[in-house]
Amino acid sequence: MSIESTNPATGAVVDTFEETSTDELEDRLERASDTFEEWRETPVERRQRLLSNAAEILRENADEYAELMAREMGKPIGQARDEVAKCAWVCDYYAEHAAAFLADETLAGEPDAKTVVAYQPLGPILAIMPWNFPFWQVFRFAAPNLAAGNVGLLKHASNVPGCASAIQDVFEQAGFPEGAFTTLLIGSDEIDAVIADDRVRGVTLTGSDGAGRAVAETAGSELKQSVLELGGSDPFVVLEDAPMDEAVETAVQARLLNSGQSCIAAKRFIVVDDVYDEFVDRFADELDEQVVGDPMDEDTDVGPQAREDLLDELHGQVEETLEAGGECRLGGEPMDRDGAFYPPTVLTDVPDDAPADREELFGPVASVFRVPDEEAAVEKANDTRFGLGASVWTADLERGERVARRFESGLAFVNELVKSDPRLPFGGVKDSGYGRELARDGIREFVNAKTIWVQHDAGEESDPVE
């Protein structure tokens, strides 16, 4: 069976790919398992050099990969180039730091014994990745895990098969052995069987909390390590002493990055009463000036939604919120043009339990809430089942840090938008998932932290203590 990738801006077919057959799937799993036995023994310094090669290939072909993203899922071309550059950065980061992160750690023990913790790879790891950052989400998994000595199996979103194939090609060009990183063009109904396969030793997913629960259930039943980076409904808190120019400018960027299709996008704007009217007026005006259009156009700020059904789902959430009593300050209707285009939209007076209050709105729709003071702002920020990122805006940095520590989130920023950085752990709490990606924490998620005790002097045996 073939898979078509479709340009969401035009509806035109971008390319056609053949699904991975049952026999091919078996061959790729077996090859991954065989390759792991070789790759795990490859010195970490060589793994690092190959990651450096991958970074260079990404930079050399940045325009090609950016255009592929723009065609397959509608990412504005400038943002797509930035995504490729970030993928190269994460490869460079682990090319520099992997050896130190994986080095044996000597811990306190008996004076006549050597006691260390060694970090050893687990085996083939399945990555189930989304379409919204089709290169970055994969590379932030692949770079640390390949450096750690694991091999990767990629089940990418069905609407970006070209990106999936291109990523495998990057690693092959970089000199990684065949089977070190393999794309599986399979359906979602085949995922459970792959997770359960004895050759697969762990699974990571970036996606919805519903998909995360299903993957966690299967992985748990097989006693396999899992990492889940799920949805978010990140609060953007504006206090009365916020630097308003910077807050408004960043709020627009934080809501519209990737045409609003980002787990860590600011989605709920919580503003204290003293500055509420000013913020809403300026925020809506700035959003209204953003250019919605062809993602291949350098002047475009907001491209299409990645698929028509996603646009329909988003608009349904907006309509249900308005029917419940919310007000629409800007936008609120699909654009009258070809393609899956939805305009920047501002919803105010959002009722409790309306979709714009309780659900993740995965598109360029901002929900604005009025609160009396800081305490109410924190309470509203935490009044969600999600816990991925959060930000607060204030002229008092000590106050900002105090508020940031009170957010129930995996990431908290003061006077900055929520973002991922290879140097810092990334992940959420509550229904936003568990485990961490990036930094030292990310490279150690899928390794065996093995305690090794070497007794120097036989001496008298002591009773073992568990």
Strands 113-121 and 124-128: unpaired
User: Which letter does DSSP use for residue 426 in this model?
Assistant: B
Tokens of 252: 């627009």
Determine contact, residues 167/64, Cβ cutoff 8 Å. no
The percentage of residues in the chain with a pLDDT greater than 90, rounded to a whole number, is 96
The helix or strand, by DSSP H or E, that contains position 433, with its residue range, turns out to be: strand 433-434
CATH number of 234-414: 3.40.309.10
**Mean pLDDT across the stretch 59-67?**
98
Query: Is 361:317 a contact under the CB 8 Å cutoff?
Result: yes
Nearest CA-CA partner of 71 in 17, 18, 15: 15
Q: Is the pLDDT of residue 91 over 90?
A: yes
Please list the residues that pair with 205 across neighbouring strands: 128, 228
Q: Is-contact 251 269, C-beta < 8 A?
A: yes
Neighbours of 104 (CB within 10 A): 12
Domain boundaries along the sequence of the chain: 2-230+428-452, 234-414
> What is the sign of the dihedral through the CA atoms of 166, 168, 174 and 178?
negative
194 has a pLDDT exceeding 80 = yes
Instruction: Write the CB contacts of 370 (distance below 8 Å, at least 6 apart in sequence).
Output: 271, 272, 273, 276, 348
pLDDT of residue 169: 98
Average pLDDT estimate for 77-87: 98
Average the pLDDT over 384-413 and give the result: 98
Q: Is the pLDDT of residue 61 over 70?
A: yes
Determine the average pLDDT of the residues in 34-40: 98
| Chain position carrying tokens 């998932």 | 433
User: Helices H, strands E: what count in the chain?
Assistant: 15, 18
**Count of positions (residues) in the chain:** 466
61-66 average pLDDT score: 98
pLDDT at 108: 81
Q: Which residues contact 244 (CB under 8 A, 6 or more apart)?
A: 275, 278, 279, 282
Q: Are 73 and 164 in contact (CB under 8 A)?
A: no
Identity (one letter) of the amino acid at 31? R
Check if the beta carbon of residue 381 is closer than 8 Å to that of residue 270.
Answer: yes
CB atoms within 10 A of CB 154: 22
Query: What is the 3-class SS of 3-49, one letter each residue?
Result: EEEECCCCCCEEEEEECCCHHHHHHHHHHHHHHHHHHCCCCHHHHHH
Judge whether residue 458 has pLDDT over 80.
no
Q: 3-state DSSP call for residue 134?
A: coil
pLDDT tens string 337-368: 999 999 999 999 999 999 999 999 999 999 99
Burial of 39 (0-12, 13-18, 19+ CB in 10 A): buried
CA-based nearest residue to 67, from 250, 303, 243: 303
Q: What is the mean pLDDT of the chain?
A: 97
| Measured distance CA(9)–CA(182) in Å, rounded | 29
Q: What is the pLDDT of residue 459?
A: 56
Q: How far is CA 76 from CA 68, 159, 192, 462, in A?
A: 11, 17, 34, 66
> Is CATH 3.40.50.1370 correct for 2-230+428-452?
no
Phi, psi of 411 (to 5 degrees): -135, 140
Q: How far apart are CA 340 and CA 289, in angstroms?
A: 19
Please provide the DSSP assignment of 296-320 as one string. Answer: TSTT-SB---SSHHHHHHHHHHHHH
Show which residues are catalytic.
229, 263
Q: Which pair of tokens denotes residue 394?
A: 């204030």
- Sort strands 2-6 and 13-18 into parallel, antiparallel or unpaired: antiparallel
SS3 178: coil
Confidence at residue 1, expressed as pLDDT on a 0 to 100 scale: 75
pLDDT at 462: 46
Measure the N-to-C terminal CA separation of the chain; round to a whole number of Å.
Answer: 54
Q: How far apart are CA 287 and CA 164, in angstroms?
A: 33
Is it the case that residue 464 has pLDDT exceeding 60? no
Dihedral of alpha carbons 255, 68, 17, 205, sign? negative
Identify which of 214, 207, 256 has the alpha carbon closest to the alpha carbon of residue 231. Answer: 207
Which residues contact residue 352 at a Cβ distance below 8 angstroms, ignoring those fewer than 6 apart?
none
